[in-house]
Structure 1
């Protein structure tokens, strides 16, 4: 209850209005007197001073809005004008004549108030929004001033009851007050909160009271009928108290003033942009109507109408520019949001990609580790295989040697009837012994333990020696140019290479001739052996050098061999610094080409 009473009863606001009501009752009930005039003049100075203090105090908490400072300055100037007017009345007993120093200060107060209205910003304006507001204020001010001219000043001048200069001077104050009324109404319609709209409506009401009081004061002073009744002072004091109330209201805080807008206020905010257009039409229509009625053109009205039309066109241009800029801003904002969205999607994609790359990298690293481990295991298995083959071959060599020696002794003593069978056994033992020797040599080469002694050798004698060991040496045609440079090789190893190549060609090309050629070039001696057999498929030309590899296992019954000749030849050539390859022959068949380093000339 106490809180409610404090909100209803506010002596700072109610007491001045009660005092004003008491003064009005005194004027009504008591006959006119000098004391009433004095009390009214003093009360006006006090009321305007209170309004100035209230508005200036409110301006301290409203640094972004300078309107309250300018209104406070205007109220202070009005209070100063009232004080000067009071001094003149006390000294001379009559009101000051037009124009006076008090009038100049009084008009300066209106200019300060109009400046405050022009500086007011409803919110942070968009581009050209402030220019649009200034143009709207200028159009309204000029239109209201033009209407004051058409409605009040021009008819009064036409009557001619006072001097024109005195009439115009006296009409300035009410004209400025009427402009303030319209501008405050515009600010109320433009306000975004109910509390702020109510504040500007109070100011427009105070400006309206100012207008009526100024009109009364102008009429009284022009007629020189000053009676000292105090009713004009009551109007001025009422307007000052309203301004004081606004200052207290602003100082109370924005939280109490930012209430939501009603339906009427929302409708008013939509009507507000049309106010400059409506007032311009009023001025232009009044000018046209006056010309139609009187057939006389008022140059001042025509000039005002033309100026208003130009300003209105400029304002519409600014509005169109604002709309285009707003559209551009919307498109830019949309584009920026799309870019931000795309950037976010790209960042998310990069994150997922990094995660996948990390997962794949970890899997790849694990695979590499597994492959390295498997490679080491394969190396160990290959080493075990080599050791096993060498061990088995070594263990087979001694029994085979003993068996061969025993059969040779038996053949020397056995009668002729069992000789053929023993010779068959001896041949198989020789073949098995050759296989064992080949396996041992290959294992020694693979392990790097095969003894090689490279020396400068002549190819032709070695070739002839190996060819003589063939079953059918007439099939071999040797084409070695003379003189052919010496080559660097181990004699035993080179003989083994030639033996394996000729043996392989004789097995797989049992018919047709064999061609062995040699040439020197680029520090190498190249030797080729061409047969007329079935040839080697392209995908098998490198695999024929693998250990125990055969092109077709079905030929094992027709062609005797153990798959070690070509691998042994490649191992020997590589160990001696050369190499070998298989390729198709020019007229069919196969062609094996090997090369060895050329011996340095002495």
Structure 2
């Protein structure tokens, strides 16, 4: 029921109350007038014939009394014979009407009270509904603002990614362009031409590696690739990671040593976790001197498994240890800047491990190199 109908119901109840109240007053006034008229008749009759007082009183009141009475006021005479105002109302049937009016009046009060209570309850419901809608509106606005912020952030990250990719590709493309221009405009010996071709192949290979890293990073960040965690052997995952860089280590004469550890089966994505371990191993082989070693150690803790990869490379300055896991960060050391790379591998390692509720950090190695410490939960 809407508020308009409630107002009409309340108005009708009020009018009914007024009608009953006015009618009751009229009935009461009529009863009083009737009683006064009977008293006047009684007084007039007894004044005319004092001896017939009792007879006259019996006729009017319907009661008999053998005692005589003095003339006087009619009301007193009627009351003398036990005839009161209430008797007059009962005798004339007015008491029934008064009782009925009382019932109607009480019903009107109840109806008005019920309508008022219903109106109050409906208003409270409307207020609660308005508060609920207001809350939902604020929630929607907050969600919309968060979505706008996320879209704005993604737009900024996309712009930054495009800028970084352009910057990373600019060097090999410029090198290729210059190489082709020199080959076209200059007479070169066979040895010089072979050197240019070798350099061009290196630039093309570098661009391929860059694009592959960019594709992996973009697919992982945008959710196109979802990690599929399952109960698998950690030892097999490490073997896969070592296998991906074994030939590169062999060419530099770098030994990869793995301390023996028990078979561990934990929930992880074997393909992407091998990618994360492989990126760390690739950096170790890339920057470590020829003839050095890379050591892998696995430790089982109470709630997680720790994988440590230590090398004998140049190490990482303390001020850069928190930056090397950022996208496209390659460090400030000269040997790092001169070595081929895109600054994506360690960033992917952090993303892969964190998405499996793992961690990664770096600290100084025992022989001046670096030790990367990676963890994965056992469950």
Q: Which has the larger radius of gyration?
A: 1
TM range (shorter): 0.3 to 0.5
Q: TM-score of the superposition, structure 1-length normalised?
A: 0.31
Structure having the higher strand fraction is 2
